[in-house]
Structure 1
Amino acid sequence: MQPLKFLAASLLFGLGTLPAAAGSLWSTEGFDMPESVAYDPAADRLIVSVMNGAPNAVDGNGQLALLSTDGKIIDAKWASGMDAPKGLALMDGKVFAADLTSLRIVDAGTGELLQSVPAEGSVFLNDVTTNGSEIFVSDMMANTIWRYSNGTFEKWLESPDLDNPNGLYWDEDRLLVGAWGKGLQNDFTTEAPGSLLAIDPATKSISVAARDVGNIDGITRLDGRLLLNDWITGEVFEIGADGKLTGIMSQPAGLADISARDGKLYLPHMLEGRIEAVTLD
Protein backbone atom coordinates (compact mmCIF):
# COMPACT_ATOMS: atom_id res chain seq x y z
CA MET A 1 0.00 0.00 0.00
CA GLN A 2 1.33 3.45 -0.91
CA PRO A 3 2.10 5.72 2.08
CA LEU A 4 -0.64 8.22 1.28
CA LYS A 5 -3.24 5.49 0.79
CA PHE A 6 -2.22 4.00 4.15
CA LEU A 7 -2.61 7.40 5.80
CA ALA A 8 -6.02 7.83 4.20
CA ALA A 9 -7.21 4.48 5.51
CA SER A 10 -5.84 5.22 8.97
CA LEU A 11 -7.63 8.55 9.12
CA LEU A 12 -10.94 7.18 7.90
CA PHE A 13 -11.07 4.28 10.32
CA GLY A 14 -9.16 5.87 13.17
CA LEU A 15 -10.74 9.27 13.59
CA GLY A 16 -14.28 8.80 12.35
CA THR A 17 -16.65 11.62 11.50
CA LEU A 18 -16.85 14.63 13.78
CA PRO A 19 -20.03 16.73 14.08
CA ALA A 20 -20.05 19.85 11.93
CA ALA A 21 -20.81 23.16 13.62
CA ALA A 22 -22.56 24.41 10.52
CA GLY A 23 -25.73 23.97 8.53
CA SER A 24 -25.33 21.46 5.73
CA LEU A 25 -27.18 22.56 2.59
CA TRP A 26 -26.39 19.54 0.44
CA SER A 27 -23.87 16.74 0.00
CA THR A 28 -23.12 15.02 -3.33
CA GLU A 29 -21.33 11.68 -3.42
CA GLY A 30 -19.80 9.58 -6.17
CA PHE A 31 -16.37 11.16 -6.66
CA ASP A 32 -13.05 9.32 -6.35
CA MET A 33 -10.68 11.60 -4.41
CA PRO A 34 -12.10 15.08 -5.12
CA GLU A 35 -9.57 17.76 -4.21
CA SER A 36 -10.81 21.23 -5.08
CA VAL A 37 -14.00 23.17 -5.87
CA ALA A 38 -14.06 26.41 -7.86
CA TYR A 39 -17.06 28.60 -8.66
CA ASP A 40 -17.53 29.58 -12.31
CA PRO A 41 -19.37 32.94 -12.28
CA ALA A 42 -19.91 33.00 -16.04
CA ALA A 43 -21.98 29.81 -15.94
CA ASP A 44 -23.08 29.91 -12.27
CA ARG A 45 -21.80 26.42 -11.57
CA LEU A 46 -19.08 24.58 -9.66
CA ILE A 47 -16.01 22.90 -11.10
CA VAL A 48 -14.53 20.00 -9.14
CA SER A 49 -11.09 18.44 -9.60
CA VAL A 50 -11.26 14.65 -9.30
CA MET A 51 -8.02 12.67 -9.00
CA ASN A 52 -9.51 9.19 -9.44
CA GLY A 53 -6.79 7.44 -7.47
CA ALA A 54 -3.59 8.31 -5.67
CA PRO A 55 -2.66 12.03 -5.57
CA ASN A 56 0.76 11.27 -7.04
CA ALA A 57 -0.27 8.78 -9.74
CA VAL A 58 0.65 9.50 -13.35
CA ASP A 59 -2.20 7.43 -14.78
CA GLY A 60 -4.28 9.65 -17.07
CA ASN A 61 -7.37 9.05 -14.92
CA GLY A 62 -7.82 12.58 -13.57
CA GLN A 63 -10.72 14.77 -14.62
CA LEU A 64 -12.85 17.81 -13.86
CA ALA A 65 -16.55 17.50 -13.04
CA LEU A 66 -19.39 20.03 -13.10
CA LEU A 67 -21.93 20.57 -10.33
CA SER A 68 -24.85 22.95 -10.07
CA THR A 69 -24.79 25.32 -7.11
CA ASP A 70 -27.46 23.17 -5.45
CA GLY A 71 -25.30 20.06 -5.70
CA LYS A 72 -26.63 18.28 -8.77
CA ILE A 73 -24.07 16.60 -11.05
CA ILE A 74 -24.13 18.27 -14.46
CA ASP A 75 -21.25 16.35 -16.01
CA ALA A 76 -19.13 13.88 -14.04
CA LYS A 77 -16.39 13.85 -16.69
CA TRP A 78 -16.50 17.34 -18.17
CA ALA A 79 -12.75 17.60 -18.81
CA SER A 80 -10.33 14.68 -18.98
CA GLY A 81 -6.80 13.84 -20.08
CA MET A 82 -5.22 14.62 -16.71
CA ASP A 83 -3.40 12.64 -14.02
CA ALA A 84 -4.25 13.88 -10.52
CA PRO A 85 -5.61 17.45 -10.79
CA LYS A 86 -5.78 19.43 -7.57
CA GLY A 87 -6.09 23.21 -7.14
CA LEU A 88 -8.24 25.25 -9.54
CA ALA A 89 -8.55 28.88 -10.57
CA LEU A 90 -10.48 30.66 -13.31
CA MET A 91 -9.14 33.54 -15.39
CA ASP A 92 -9.97 34.93 -18.84
CA GLY A 93 -12.51 32.23 -19.64
CA LYS A 94 -10.13 29.42 -18.78
CA VAL A 95 -9.75 26.95 -15.93
CA PHE A 96 -6.22 26.44 -14.61
CA ALA A 97 -5.58 23.15 -12.80
CA ALA A 98 -2.41 22.06 -10.99
CA ASP A 99 -1.59 18.51 -12.06
CA LEU A 100 1.61 17.02 -10.59
CA THR A 101 4.24 18.65 -12.85
CA SER A 102 2.00 20.45 -15.34
CA LEU A 103 -0.47 23.30 -15.42
CA ARG A 104 -3.58 22.20 -17.31
CA ILE A 105 -5.49 24.93 -19.14
CA VAL A 106 -9.12 24.14 -19.96
CA ASP A 107 -11.75 26.10 -21.88
CA ALA A 108 -14.21 27.15 -19.18
CA GLY A 109 -17.10 27.03 -21.61
CA THR A 110 -16.57 23.68 -23.31
CA GLY A 111 -14.25 21.67 -21.04
CA GLU A 112 -11.74 21.20 -23.85
CA LEU A 113 -8.17 20.71 -22.64
CA LEU A 114 -6.43 23.54 -24.46
CA GLN A 115 -2.89 23.19 -23.20
CA SER A 116 -0.67 21.33 -20.75
CA VAL A 117 2.20 23.55 -19.67
CA PRO A 118 5.09 21.68 -18.02
CA ALA A 119 6.78 23.10 -14.93
CA GLU A 120 10.34 21.97 -15.58
CA GLY A 121 11.92 20.76 -12.35
CA SER A 122 8.69 20.72 -10.36
CA VAL A 123 7.74 17.81 -8.11
CA PHE A 124 4.15 18.06 -6.80
CA LEU A 125 2.12 21.04 -7.99
CA ASN A 126 -0.79 21.53 -5.64
CA ASP A 127 -2.90 24.68 -5.37
CA VAL A 128 -3.70 27.51 -7.78
CA THR A 129 -4.81 31.11 -7.31
CA THR A 130 -5.00 34.24 -9.43
CA ASN A 131 -4.68 37.99 -8.99
CA GLY A 132 -6.80 38.52 -12.10
CA SER A 133 -3.93 38.76 -14.56
CA GLU A 134 -1.50 36.06 -13.41
CA ILE A 135 -1.73 32.51 -12.10
CA PHE A 136 0.23 31.30 -9.06
CA VAL A 137 0.84 27.61 -8.32
CA SER A 138 2.37 25.95 -5.24
CA ASP A 139 4.86 23.09 -5.46
CA MET A 140 4.44 21.37 -2.11
CA MET A 141 7.49 19.13 -2.37
CA ALA A 142 9.94 21.70 -3.72
CA ASN A 143 9.24 24.78 -1.55
CA THR A 144 8.42 26.77 -4.66
CA ILE A 145 5.71 29.10 -5.96
CA TRP A 146 5.34 29.15 -9.74
CA ARG A 147 3.81 31.95 -11.82
CA TYR A 148 2.05 31.73 -15.18
CA SER A 149 2.07 35.12 -16.89
CA ASN A 150 1.63 36.03 -20.55
CA GLY A 151 2.10 32.42 -21.62
CA THR A 152 5.25 31.84 -19.57
CA PHE A 153 5.29 29.39 -16.64
CA GLU A 154 8.32 29.85 -14.39
CA LYS A 155 9.55 29.71 -10.82
CA TRP A 156 8.50 32.87 -9.02
CA LEU A 157 9.74 32.19 -5.49
CA GLU A 158 11.80 29.33 -4.08
CA SER A 159 12.57 29.29 -0.36
CA PRO A 160 12.85 26.77 2.50
CA ASP A 161 10.80 29.27 4.53
CA LEU A 162 7.72 28.20 2.55
CA ASP A 163 7.67 24.99 4.64
CA ASN A 164 6.06 22.74 2.02
CA PRO A 165 3.49 25.18 0.59
CA ASN A 166 0.04 23.82 -0.13
CA GLY A 167 -2.95 26.20 -0.14
CA LEU A 168 -2.81 29.52 -1.99
CA TYR A 169 -5.15 32.52 -1.88
CA TRP A 170 -4.69 35.95 -3.42
CA ASP A 171 -5.89 38.33 -0.71
CA GLU A 172 -6.08 41.89 -2.06
CA ASP A 173 -2.42 42.96 -2.15
CA ARG A 174 -0.76 39.83 -0.78
CA LEU A 175 -0.39 36.15 -1.58
CA LEU A 176 -1.42 33.90 1.29
CA VAL A 177 0.26 30.51 1.52
CA GLY A 178 -0.86 27.63 3.70
CA ALA A 179 2.27 25.73 4.74
CA TRP A 180 1.94 21.99 5.34
CA GLY A 181 4.78 22.14 7.87
CA LYS A 182 8.43 21.28 8.35
CA GLY A 183 9.76 17.73 8.34
CA LEU A 184 7.44 16.16 5.79
CA GLN A 185 7.29 12.38 6.24
CA ASN A 186 6.54 9.66 3.70
CA ASP A 187 2.99 9.36 5.04
CA PHE A 188 2.42 13.14 4.60
CA THR A 189 2.49 13.88 8.33
CA THR A 190 4.99 16.50 9.50
CA GLU A 191 7.38 17.00 12.39
CA ALA A 192 5.95 20.48 12.97
CA PRO A 193 2.64 22.17 12.09
CA GLY A 194 2.48 24.59 9.19
CA SER A 195 1.78 28.30 9.50
CA LEU A 196 -0.24 30.70 7.37
CA LEU A 197 2.28 32.78 5.45
CA ALA A 198 1.85 36.11 3.67
CA ILE A 199 4.03 37.10 0.71
CA ASP A 200 4.50 40.67 -0.47
CA PRO A 201 4.34 40.32 -4.28
CA ALA A 202 6.54 43.38 -4.82
CA THR A 203 9.45 42.28 -2.61
CA LYS A 204 8.66 38.54 -2.29
CA SER A 205 9.27 38.86 1.45
CA ILE A 206 7.63 36.15 3.55
CA SER A 207 5.93 36.88 6.88
CA VAL A 208 3.87 34.76 9.26
CA ALA A 209 0.18 35.68 9.38
CA ALA A 210 -0.80 32.90 11.80
CA ARG A 211 1.70 30.58 13.44
CA ASP A 212 1.55 26.78 13.93
CA VAL A 213 -1.91 26.16 12.49
CA GLY A 214 -1.56 22.59 11.21
CA ASN A 215 -1.34 20.84 7.85
CA ILE A 216 -3.02 23.63 5.90
CA ASP A 217 -4.85 22.79 2.68
CA GLY A 218 -7.51 25.31 1.63
CA ILE A 219 -7.66 29.08 2.21
CA THR A 220 -10.67 31.24 1.39
CA ARG A 221 -12.79 34.19 2.48
CA LEU A 222 -16.46 33.88 3.36
CA ASP A 223 -18.31 37.16 3.86
CA GLY A 224 -15.00 38.82 4.71
CA ARG A 225 -13.92 36.14 7.17
CA LEU A 226 -10.55 34.53 6.45
CA LEU A 227 -10.90 30.75 6.73
CA LEU A 228 -8.53 27.83 6.30
CA ASN A 229 -8.54 24.12 7.01
CA ASP A 230 -6.28 21.34 8.27
CA TRP A 231 -6.33 18.29 5.98
CA ILE A 232 -5.14 15.84 8.64
CA THR A 233 -7.69 16.75 11.33
CA GLY A 234 -10.56 18.18 9.25
CA GLU A 235 -10.67 21.30 11.41
CA VAL A 236 -11.70 24.64 9.87
CA PHE A 237 -10.34 27.82 11.44
CA GLU A 238 -10.97 31.53 11.22
CA ILE A 239 -7.93 33.81 11.27
CA GLY A 240 -8.38 37.23 12.84
CA ALA A 241 -6.57 40.36 11.68
CA ASP A 242 -4.24 39.88 14.66
CA GLY A 243 -3.42 36.32 13.58
CA LYS A 244 -5.56 34.78 16.32
CA LEU A 245 -6.79 31.30 15.44
CA THR A 246 -10.40 30.31 16.22
CA GLY A 247 -11.79 26.86 15.50
CA ILE A 248 -15.22 27.18 13.88
CA MET A 249 -16.00 23.74 12.47
CA SER A 250 -14.99 20.09 12.80
CA GLN A 251 -15.23 17.92 9.71
CA PRO A 252 -13.97 14.44 8.82
CA ALA A 253 -10.26 13.99 8.21
CA GLY A 254 -9.15 14.54 4.63
CA LEU A 255 -10.99 17.83 4.07
CA ALA A 256 -9.16 19.30 1.07
CA ASP A 257 -9.19 22.65 -0.76
CA ILE A 258 -12.17 24.59 0.63
CA SER A 259 -13.69 27.57 -1.18
CA ALA A 260 -16.58 29.98 -0.65
CA ARG A 261 -19.17 31.93 -2.59
CA ASP A 262 -22.40 33.80 -1.76
CA GLY A 263 -22.47 32.80 1.88
CA LYS A 264 -21.74 29.14 1.19
CA LEU A 265 -18.62 27.20 2.12
CA TYR A 266 -17.79 24.36 -0.27
CA LEU A 267 -16.09 21.33 1.26
CA PRO A 268 -14.33 18.69 -0.85
CA HIS A 269 -14.23 15.58 1.34
CA MET A 270 -11.37 13.85 -0.44
CA LEU A 271 -11.37 10.60 1.50
CA GLU A 272 -15.16 10.25 1.55
CA GLY A 273 -15.60 11.03 -2.15
CA ARG A 274 -18.16 13.79 -1.75
CA ILE A 275 -18.69 17.54 -2.06
CA GLU A 276 -20.68 19.38 0.59
CA ALA A 277 -22.03 22.92 0.85
CA VAL A 278 -22.55 24.44 4.30
CA THR A 279 -23.39 27.72 5.93
CA LEU A 280 -21.70 28.90 9.10
CA ASP A 281 -23.53 29.68 12.33
Structure 2
Amino acid sequence: MLRYLALPTLILAAACSSAPAETLAVPTLEPLWVAEGFQGAEGAAMAPDGSYYISNVFGDGRAKDGNAYIAKLSTGGVIVERYWSAKLDAPKGMAILDGTLYVNDIDRVVMVDAESGSRKGQIPIEGASFLNDATVWNGQVYVSDSGTARIHVLDGETATVWMEDDVLKGVNGLLGDAGRMLVSTMTAGDLLSVDADRNVTVIATGMVDGDGIGLVPGGGYLVSSWPGQIHYVGEGGTVTTLLDTTGDETPITQNDLTIFGDVVIVPNLRNDTVTAWKVVR
Protein backbone atom coordinates (compact mmCIF):
# COMPACT_ATOMS: atom_id res chain seq x y z
CA MET A 1 0.00 0.00 0.00
CA LEU A 2 1.05 3.60 -0.56
CA ARG A 3 0.23 6.73 1.36
CA TYR A 4 1.51 10.27 1.19
CA LEU A 5 3.36 12.00 3.98
CA ALA A 6 2.45 15.25 5.64
CA LEU A 7 5.14 17.86 6.06
CA PRO A 8 7.33 17.36 9.14
CA THR A 9 5.93 19.15 12.13
CA LEU A 10 9.09 19.59 14.16
CA ILE A 11 12.34 21.22 13.04
CA LEU A 12 15.12 21.52 15.60
CA ALA A 13 18.57 23.13 15.28
CA ALA A 14 21.53 22.06 17.39
CA ALA A 15 24.69 23.90 16.41
CA CYS A 16 28.07 22.60 17.58
CA SER A 17 29.64 25.59 19.35
CA SER A 18 33.18 24.69 18.25
CA ALA A 19 32.32 24.25 14.57
CA PRO A 20 33.36 26.88 12.01
CA ALA A 21 30.72 29.02 10.38
CA GLU A 22 28.78 27.19 7.66
CA THR A 23 28.40 28.70 4.19
CA LEU A 24 25.99 26.19 2.66
CA ALA A 25 22.26 26.55 3.07
CA VAL A 26 20.66 23.90 5.26
CA PRO A 27 18.55 21.63 3.00
CA THR A 28 14.94 20.65 3.56
CA LEU A 29 13.20 17.32 3.06
CA GLU A 30 10.26 17.35 0.67
CA PRO A 31 7.91 14.38 1.24
CA LEU A 32 7.43 12.12 -1.79
CA TRP A 33 5.67 8.97 -0.58
CA VAL A 34 5.41 6.36 2.16
CA ALA A 35 5.15 2.70 1.14
CA GLU A 36 3.43 0.28 3.52
CA GLY A 37 3.22 -3.47 3.94
CA PHE A 38 6.78 -4.38 4.97
CA GLN A 39 7.88 -6.58 7.88
CA GLY A 40 10.73 -4.91 9.71
CA ALA A 41 12.14 -2.86 6.79
CA GLU A 42 15.78 -2.08 7.61
CA GLY A 43 18.16 -1.68 4.66
CA ALA A 44 18.00 -0.24 1.14
CA ALA A 45 20.00 -0.65 -2.06
CA MET A 46 19.40 0.36 -5.67
CA ALA A 47 18.61 -2.43 -8.12
CA PRO A 48 20.23 -2.51 -11.58
CA ASP A 49 16.97 -1.27 -13.12
CA GLY A 50 16.80 1.73 -10.77
CA SER A 51 14.20 0.32 -8.37
CA TYR A 52 15.00 -0.40 -4.72
CA TYR A 53 15.79 -3.51 -2.75
CA ILE A 54 14.48 -3.37 0.83
CA SER A 55 15.64 -5.88 3.44
CA ASN A 56 12.95 -7.13 5.85
CA VAL A 57 14.16 -8.43 9.22
CA PHE A 58 10.71 -9.96 9.93
CA GLY A 59 11.10 -10.68 13.65
CA ASP A 60 14.02 -10.73 16.06
CA GLY A 61 17.10 -9.07 14.55
CA ARG A 62 19.31 -11.84 15.97
CA ALA A 63 17.08 -14.86 15.25
CA LYS A 64 18.31 -17.44 12.74
CA ASP A 65 14.82 -18.47 11.66
CA GLY A 66 14.95 -18.31 7.84
CA ASN A 67 11.77 -16.20 7.74
CA ALA A 68 13.23 -12.94 6.43
CA TYR A 69 13.46 -11.65 2.87
CA ILE A 70 14.33 -8.85 0.47
CA ALA A 71 11.50 -7.05 -1.32
CA LYS A 72 11.68 -5.09 -4.57
CA LEU A 73 10.13 -1.62 -4.47
CA SER A 74 9.37 0.64 -7.45
CA THR A 75 10.62 4.23 -7.64
CA GLY A 76 7.04 5.31 -6.98
CA GLY A 77 6.75 3.34 -3.74
CA VAL A 78 4.90 0.22 -4.89
CA ILE A 79 6.04 -3.27 -3.87
CA VAL A 80 6.54 -5.05 -7.20
CA GLU A 81 7.97 -8.29 -5.80
CA ARG A 82 7.63 -9.00 -2.10
CA TYR A 83 9.84 -12.09 -1.90
CA TRP A 84 12.46 -11.13 -4.48
CA SER A 85 15.01 -13.07 -2.41
CA ALA A 86 13.82 -15.06 0.59
CA LYS A 87 14.70 -17.51 3.38
CA LEU A 88 17.15 -15.16 5.08
CA ASP A 89 17.47 -14.79 8.85
CA ALA A 90 17.56 -11.07 9.68
CA PRO A 91 18.96 -9.11 6.70
CA LYS A 92 20.05 -5.53 7.28
CA GLY A 93 22.53 -3.43 5.27
CA MET A 94 23.25 -4.25 1.61
CA ALA A 95 25.72 -3.26 -1.09
CA ILE A 96 26.14 -4.18 -4.78
CA LEU A 97 29.49 -4.91 -6.44
CA ASP A 98 30.05 -6.46 -9.88
CA GLY A 99 26.49 -7.75 -10.21
CA THR A 100 26.32 -9.29 -6.74
CA LEU A 101 24.18 -8.01 -3.88
CA TYR A 102 25.95 -8.50 -0.55
CA VAL A 103 23.47 -8.82 2.34
CA ASN A 104 24.40 -8.62 6.03
CA ASP A 105 22.62 -11.46 7.83
CA ILE A 106 23.58 -11.51 11.56
CA ASP A 107 26.99 -13.25 11.37
CA ARG A 108 27.31 -13.95 7.65
CA VAL A 109 27.15 -12.06 4.38
CA VAL A 110 24.83 -13.67 1.86
CA MET A 111 25.65 -13.16 -1.83
CA VAL A 112 22.70 -12.77 -4.18
CA ASP A 113 22.62 -12.27 -7.95
CA ALA A 114 21.58 -8.63 -8.30
CA GLU A 115 19.45 -9.35 -11.36
CA SER A 116 17.66 -12.59 -10.51
CA GLY A 117 17.71 -12.76 -6.70
CA SER A 118 19.19 -16.26 -6.73
CA ARG A 119 21.74 -17.23 -4.09
CA LYS A 120 25.43 -17.23 -4.99
CA GLY A 121 26.82 -18.38 -1.65
CA GLN A 122 27.69 -16.86 1.69
CA ILE A 123 30.69 -15.56 3.63
CA PRO A 124 30.76 -16.36 7.36
CA ILE A 125 32.22 -13.56 9.52
CA GLU A 126 34.16 -15.12 12.37
CA GLY A 127 33.27 -13.61 15.75
CA ALA A 128 30.52 -11.37 14.34
CA SER A 129 27.38 -10.86 16.42
CA PHE A 130 25.32 -8.11 14.70
CA LEU A 131 26.37 -7.29 11.16
CA ASN A 132 24.66 -4.04 10.25
CA ASP A 133 25.58 -1.81 7.32
CA ALA A 134 27.56 -2.42 4.11
CA THR A 135 29.30 -0.26 1.53
CA VAL A 136 31.55 -0.53 -1.51
CA TRP A 137 34.84 1.35 -1.22
CA ASN A 138 37.98 1.11 -3.33
CA GLY A 139 36.58 -1.87 -5.20
CA GLN A 140 35.79 -3.96 -2.11
CA VAL A 141 32.81 -4.54 0.17
CA TYR A 142 33.04 -3.45 3.80
CA VAL A 143 30.57 -4.41 6.54
CA SER A 144 30.06 -3.10 10.07
CA ASP A 145 29.48 -5.24 13.15
CA SER A 146 27.65 -3.19 15.78
CA GLY A 147 28.21 -5.90 18.39
CA THR A 148 32.01 -5.98 18.25
CA ALA A 149 33.05 -2.44 17.17
CA ARG A 150 34.63 -3.84 14.02
CA ILE A 151 34.59 -3.15 10.31
CA HIS A 152 35.30 -6.16 8.10
CA VAL A 153 36.47 -6.19 4.50
CA LEU A 154 35.44 -8.95 2.09
CA ASP A 155 37.95 -10.47 -0.30
CA GLY A 156 36.49 -13.06 -2.62
CA GLU A 157 34.77 -15.53 -0.31
CA THR A 158 36.65 -14.61 2.87
CA ALA A 159 36.47 -11.74 5.35
CA THR A 160 39.08 -10.10 7.56
CA VAL A 161 38.91 -7.43 10.27
CA TRP A 162 39.83 -4.14 8.60
CA MET A 163 39.45 -1.94 11.68
CA GLU A 164 38.73 -2.44 15.38
CA ASP A 165 38.86 0.54 17.71
CA ASP A 166 37.08 2.06 20.71
CA VAL A 167 35.95 4.92 18.49
CA LEU A 168 33.82 2.36 16.64
CA LYS A 169 31.68 1.41 19.66
CA GLY A 170 28.19 0.91 18.33
CA VAL A 171 29.39 1.23 14.74
CA ASN A 172 26.50 1.29 12.31
CA GLY A 173 26.41 3.20 9.02
CA LEU A 174 29.15 2.96 6.38
CA LEU A 175 29.52 4.94 3.16
CA GLY A 176 32.52 4.83 0.85
CA ASP A 177 33.31 8.27 -0.56
CA ALA A 178 36.44 8.68 -2.74
CA GLY A 179 39.50 8.63 -0.44
CA ARG A 180 37.57 8.10 2.78
CA MET A 181 34.94 5.98 4.42
CA LEU A 182 32.18 7.74 6.32
CA VAL A 183 31.11 5.95 9.50
CA SER A 184 28.28 6.58 11.96
CA THR A 185 28.21 5.28 15.52
CA MET A 186 25.34 4.66 17.90
CA THR A 187 27.21 5.00 21.22
CA ALA A 188 28.72 8.47 20.83
CA GLY A 189 26.60 9.46 17.85
CA ASP A 190 29.64 10.39 15.79
CA LEU A 191 30.00 10.92 12.07
CA LEU A 192 33.56 9.86 11.31
CA SER A 193 35.84 10.08 8.29
CA VAL A 194 38.33 7.20 8.05
CA ASP A 195 41.07 7.11 5.42
CA ALA A 196 42.74 4.06 3.88
CA ASP A 197 45.39 4.09 6.64
CA ARG A 198 42.63 4.02 9.28
CA ASN A 199 43.26 7.60 10.41
CA VAL A 200 40.05 8.91 11.98
CA THR A 201 38.60 12.42 11.83
CA VAL A 202 35.45 13.30 13.78
CA ILE A 203 33.23 15.36 11.48
CA ALA A 204 30.36 15.79 13.96
CA THR A 205 29.06 14.23 17.16
CA GLY A 206 25.98 14.01 19.37
CA MET A 207 23.71 12.12 16.94
CA VAL A 208 23.13 9.23 19.34
CA ASP A 209 21.99 5.95 17.73
CA GLY A 210 23.39 7.09 14.39
CA ASP A 211 22.37 4.86 11.49
CA GLY A 212 22.35 5.63 7.75
CA ILE A 213 24.56 8.19 6.00
CA GLY A 214 23.94 10.05 2.75
CA LEU A 215 25.86 12.66 0.74
CA VAL A 216 23.73 15.75 0.11
CA PRO A 217 24.00 17.16 -3.43
CA GLY A 218 26.04 20.35 -3.20
CA GLY A 219 27.72 19.44 0.09
CA GLY A 220 27.08 18.17 3.58
CA TYR A 221 25.59 14.93 4.88
CA LEU A 222 22.37 13.42 6.14
CA VAL A 223 22.60 11.08 9.12
CA SER A 224 19.65 9.21 10.58
CA SER A 225 19.27 8.30 14.24
CA TRP A 226 17.19 5.14 14.20
CA PRO A 227 14.81 6.02 17.10
CA GLY A 228 13.25 8.71 14.87
CA GLN A 229 15.50 11.56 13.72
CA ILE A 230 17.16 12.79 10.53
CA HIS A 231 20.06 15.25 10.87
CA TYR A 232 21.91 17.46 8.43
CA VAL A 233 25.65 17.84 9.04
CA GLY A 234 27.34 20.78 7.35
CA GLU A 235 30.87 20.57 5.99
CA GLY A 236 32.08 22.41 9.09
CA GLY A 237 30.43 19.94 11.46
CA THR A 238 27.33 21.91 12.45
CA VAL A 239 24.39 19.59 13.14
CA THR A 240 20.81 20.58 12.33
CA THR A 241 17.99 18.16 13.10
CA LEU A 242 15.57 18.24 10.18
CA LEU A 243 13.07 15.69 11.47
CA ASP A 244 12.32 14.43 14.97
CA THR A 245 9.49 12.00 15.67
CA THR A 246 10.84 10.65 18.96
CA GLY A 247 8.28 12.60 20.99
CA ASP A 248 5.33 11.45 18.89
CA GLU A 249 2.81 8.95 20.18
CA THR A 250 4.07 6.55 17.50
CA PRO A 251 7.65 7.48 16.60
CA ILE A 252 8.75 6.69 13.06
CA THR A 253 12.07 4.90 13.18
CA GLN A 254 14.67 6.17 10.71
CA ASN A 255 16.86 3.21 9.86
CA ASP A 256 19.31 2.74 6.97
CA LEU A 257 18.92 6.17 5.35
CA THR A 258 20.38 6.18 1.82
CA ILE A 259 20.54 8.94 -0.81
CA PHE A 260 20.17 8.09 -4.50
CA GLY A 261 20.71 11.30 -6.47
CA ASP A 262 18.40 13.73 -4.68
CA VAL A 263 16.00 11.05 -3.40
CA VAL A 264 16.31 9.93 0.23
CA ILE A 265 15.05 6.42 0.99
CA VAL A 266 14.54 5.54 4.67
CA PRO A 267 13.24 2.16 5.86
CA ASN A 268 11.14 2.48 9.03
CA LEU A 269 11.70 -0.85 10.78
CA ARG A 270 9.23 -0.59 13.65
CA ASN A 271 6.54 0.97 11.48
CA ASP A 272 6.76 -1.55 8.59
CA THR A 273 7.05 1.30 6.09
CA VAL A 274 9.60 2.91 3.78
CA THR A 275 9.68 6.70 3.40
CA ALA A 276 10.93 8.63 0.37
CA TRP A 277 11.95 12.28 0.48
CA LYS A 278 13.48 14.72 -1.99
CA VAL A 279 16.37 16.67 -0.53
CA VAL A 280 16.06 20.33 -1.55
CA ARG A 281 18.54 23.14 -1.00
TM-score of the pair, normalised by structure 1: 0.85
State how 1:54-203 maps to structure 2 within 5 Å.
54-131=60-137, 133-181=139-187, 193-201=188-196, 203=197
C-alpha distance after superposition, 1:75-109 (max 9, x if no partner): 10000121000001111011111110000110001
Deviations 1:53-86 (A, max 9, x none): 1111111111111011111111100001210000
2:9 maps to a residue whose letter is P
Q: Distance in 1 between matches of 2:82 and 2:55?
A: 10
Change (3 A) 1:23 1:161: closer
Q: Would you say the 8 A contact 1:163–1:194 is kept in 2?
A: no
1:234-278 Cα offsets, whole Å, 9 max, x none, are: 111111111111122234342100111132111111111011211
State how far apart, in whole Å, the 1-side matches of 2:206 and 2:259 are: 23
User: d(CA) in 2 for partners of 1:268 and 1:140?
Assistant: 18
Aligned to 2:226: 231
How far apart, in 2, do the equivalents of 1:211 and 1:44 lie?
33
Across the aligned residues of Structure 1 and Structure 2, the Cα RMSD in angstroms comes to 1.7
Residues 54/194 of structure 1: CA separation in 2 closer, same or farther (3 Å cut): same
Question: After TM superposition, what 4+ stretches of structure 1 lie above 4 angstroms from structure 2?
Answer: none
Match of 2:259 in 1: 260
Segments of structure 1 that go 5 or more residues without pairing to the other structure are 1-16, 182-192
Q: CA deviation at 1:43?
A: 1.1
Rounded to whole Å, the distance in 1 between the matches of 2:182 and 2:39 is 28
Q: Give the corresponding residue for 2:269.
A: 270
CA contact (8 A) 1:222 1:261 kept: no
- What's the offset of the Cα at 1:204? 1.1
Identity, % of aligned pairs?
Answer: 30
- The residue identity in structure 2 corresponding to 1:178 is S
State the Cα distance separating 1:171 from its structure 2 match. 1.8
Number of aligned residues? 251
Alpha-carbon distance between aligned partners in 2 of 1:19 and 1:54, rounded to the nearest angstrom: 31
Partner of 2:34: 27
Change over 3 Å in CA distance of 1:168–1:248 after alignment to 2: same
The aligned amino acid for 2:233 is I
Unmatched tracts of structure 2, length 5 or more: 1-6, 11-27, 246-250
1:271 aligned counterpart, secondary structure: helix
Residue 46 of structure 2 contacts residue 53 of structure 2 at CA under 8 Å; is this kept in 1?
A: yes
1:208-247 equivalent positions in 2, closer than 5 A: 208-224=202-218, 225-232=220-227, 234-247=228-241
Which secondary structure state, in structure 2, belongs to the residue aligned with residue 161 of structure 1?
helix
CA distance in 1, matches of 2:64, 2:29: 36
Determine if contact 2:8/2:243 at 8 Å carries over to the other structure.
no
Q: Distance in 2 between matches of 1:109 and 1:130?
A: 18
How far did 1:132 drift? 5.3
Alpha-carbon distance in structure 2 between the residues aligned to 1:253 and 1:215? 14
Rounded Cα–Cα distance in structure 1 between residues aligned with 2:8 and 2:76: 24
SS in 2 for 1:87: strand
What amino acid does structure 1 have at the position aligned with 2:203? A
- Displacement of 1:155 in angstroms is 1.0
Equivalent residues of 1:167, 1:179 under 8 A apart: yes
Q: Deviations over 1:88-145 (max 9, x none)?
A: 1111011111110000110001000111110011111100000251000000010100
Q: TM-score, normalised by structure 2?
A: 0.85
